[in-house]
Amino acid sequence: MATGFLYDDQFLKHDAGRGHPESPQRLARTLAHLKEQAWFGTLSQVRPAPAEEKWILTTHAAPYLKRSKEACEEGAPWLDTPDVGISSESYATALLAAGGGLMLADRMMAGEIQNGFALLRPPGHHAELSHAMGFCLFNNVAILARYLQQKHGLDKILILDWDVHHGNGTQHTFEEDPSVLYASLHQYPFYPGTGSAWETGEGRGRGATLNCPMPAGASDREYETAFCEQILPKIEGFKPEAVLVSAGFDAHESDPLASINLSTEFFGWMTERMMEAADKHADGRLLSLLEGGYNLDYLPRCVALHVETLMKKDKPPLARPASFR
């Protein structure tokens, strides 16, 4: 079964401001690199549609939607915090980004694709119930999780977040909900300040949040240890019905916004582990949405390896990265 690939030129129209690291070039450069790959034409191309408001409201408050739309229409330079730069096209683009994952979900649940990746912006995992932050307007992966539960009847959803920044918005969305396991590897202490190991969920959701904070300078070996000793055992006990990945590539050793030193190859290794979990527990259902990644030379390479790995359902596993040896 095919791997889905979702993209639309509308994603280039969100303008966060001159010199902002979350620029349209992130997608333009990545797409150009993907098109150079011999396997690109075998991907199942999926076009997004804007998310209906009712699905955005599963994760965000109605006054926030209204305020976001008005800020973009009125030409405000930013929303809630100066790092969330906006333009007249930003609201429409954010609706399309949120809807992108939903389109992949529909195709996956219809049996038309096995798994899929969305090359989209703006990213989402920092967006909270009622405010924007960290380059994010709407929490794309959280909206997708609720959509899979409410539209497609799945119950237990895993969200693995390997972006170098902790997904505060995603954690807060589900921290009282035992039906969604949120697991995150991220630099700590670092922006946004959340994601300590003792944050394990609240109330009925206690135990359904797993944070694996990493010190500056951590590399493949430390991440492998966290996977093998914490994340994979947690997934084994949870038994998700779908696997979602908040796929940020800013933990790469070349990224200018952080200090984690993952190799390009390690993103393929993490992808394989999530595919194995999806195969074992979720009939192979895995969807991945782009979050961060700001080195314009290495983001395309990491994304290409991630997507190519998703396509390799019945091929031998990737070689172990040299940094593991």
| Residues with active-site annotation | 126
Which amino acid, one-letter code, is at 34? L
**DSSP label at residue 136:** B
Q: How far apart are CA 121 and CA 21, in angstroms?
A: 12
Closest CA to 223 of 325, 215, 18: 215
289's enclosing H/E stretch is: strand 286-290
- The residues, ordered by sequence, that sit 6+ positions from 281 with a Cβ below 8 Å of its Cβ are 235, 239, 240, 241, 243
234's enclosing H/E stretch is: helix 232-238
**DSSP label at residue 252:** B
Residue carrying the six token digits 């690109």: 40
Q: How many other CB atoms sit within 10 Å of the CB of residue 124?
A: 31
Token pair in block for residue 248: 């940020």
Q: How far apart are CA 257 and CA 153, in angstroms?
A: 38
